[in-house]
Amino acid sequence: MSLLNKETPNITLTFSLPPEFIAPLDGKNETVIEIQVANTKQPIKVKDWRYPSITDGQFSFSFAHHYLDISIKYRINIQMFHNQQPLLLEQDYFVIIDHAPYRQTLHLSPIGYLYVEVQEPKVVAAEQAVTVSLHETGNPEVELIRVTHDEQTATSFYLKYNPDDVVPGKRYALSGIENRYHQHISVSPGPIELLPMPQPTSSRLLHTLNQ
């Protein structure tokens, strides 16, 4: 008798890192993944996973989806540590599931690289497409970097910045403008710490799991 129809369907996430990111091989390494159901009055813990290694490129991670006939919003938090120092920006990723099995790719942002998603601009000449600026929150004049993309590459890309130019613990924001008509466009993520304060276990995720 086949048991396939009794198996719980899985959610499979592919975590993707920029090609330039190279995982350190020396020292103490660890990957920590926390998954919660986010669309309930109180978050429901689904999975806590720790692995004494880190990787670069792409890797996949699966967890069981136990809900039927209801839309579920999962919050995913992932962190990689090298000698107890975080290698990724502290971000929450949200995945909405209506049915399973289900697959989705999540683009991770190592320190020095911010994965940016831009509202799709209208088709315009390449030199007139969109400009994206990374700057201090509430102070757009203090920029870390500014880039221009055409409509083919502006929807999602890695914005590289120099961590040496960043104030640890300070939050920075993204702004986008459509160059031809100077209309502001939506850019994500929202305000974010680009460099954590230096401390042995600065990630709130690791702190929570240790508790």
**Which pLDDT does position 156 carry in this prediction?**
86
167 lies in a domain? yes
Does residue 30 sit in helix, strand or coil?
A: strand
Same domain? 132 vs 58: no
39 lies in a domain? yes
Q: For residue 72, what are the domain limits?
A: 4-110
Same domain? 118 vs 35: no
**Which pLDDT does position 107 carry in this prediction?**
97
Q: Look at the block and give the residue holding tokens 């890192």.
A: 17
**Which pLDDT does position 25 carry in this prediction?**
87
Same domain? 189 vs 135: yes
Distance of CA 193 to the CA centre of its chain: 12
Q: Spell out the residues 6+ positions from residue 51 whose beta carbon is closer than 8 angstroms to its own.
A: 30, 31
Boundary residue ending a domain (110, 142, 177): 110
Name the phi and psi angles at 128, rounded to 5: -115, 15
Give the tokens for residue 199.
């401390």
Does residue 201 register a pLDDT over 50?
Answer: no
**Which pLDDT does position 118 carry in this prediction?**
85
Boundary residue ending a domain (48, 79, 110): 110
**Which pLDDT does position 108 carry in this prediction?**
98
For residue 24, what pLDDT band results from cuts at 50, 70 and 90? very high
Same domain? 127 vs 171: yes
Mean pLDDT of all residues in 192-197: 92
**Which pLDDT does position 28 carry in this prediction?**
96
Does residue 2 register a pLDDT over 50?
Answer: no
Q: Spell out the residues 6+ positions from residue 207 whose beta carbon is closer than 8 angstroms to its own.
A: 201
**Which pLDDT does position 57 carry in this prediction?**
94
For residue 116, what pLDDT band results from cuts at 50, 70 and 90? very high
67 lies in a domain? yes
Does residue 5 register a pLDDT over 90?
Answer: no
Boundary residue ending a domain (110, 133, 159): 110
Same domain? 8 vs 106: yes
Antiparallel, parallel or unpaired: β 10-16 and 58-64: antiparallel
Q: Write down the pTM of the prediction.
A: 0.84
CA distance 123 to 167: 37
27-31, 93-97, 146-150, 186-190: which has the minimum mean pLDDT?
146-150
**Which pLDDT does position 92 carry in this prediction?**
95
| Total domains in the fold of the chain | 2
Same domain? 20 vs 38: yes
Q: What CATH number has the domain bearing residue 30?
A: 2.60.40
**Cis before 140? omega within 30:** no
Does residue 131 register a pLDDT over 70?
Answer: yes
Type of residue found at 115: Y
**Which pLDDT does position 85 carry in this prediction?**
93
Mean pLDDT of all residues in 65-86: 94
CA distance 116 to 187: 7
Same domain? 57 vs 68: yes
For residue 7, what pLDDT band results from cuts at 50, 70 and 90? confident
Same domain? 20 vs 54: yes
Does residue 69 register a pLDDT over 90?
Answer: no
CA distance 172 to 111: 13
178 lies in a domain? yes
**Which pLDDT does position 202 carry in this prediction?**
43
Same domain? 44 vs 83: yes
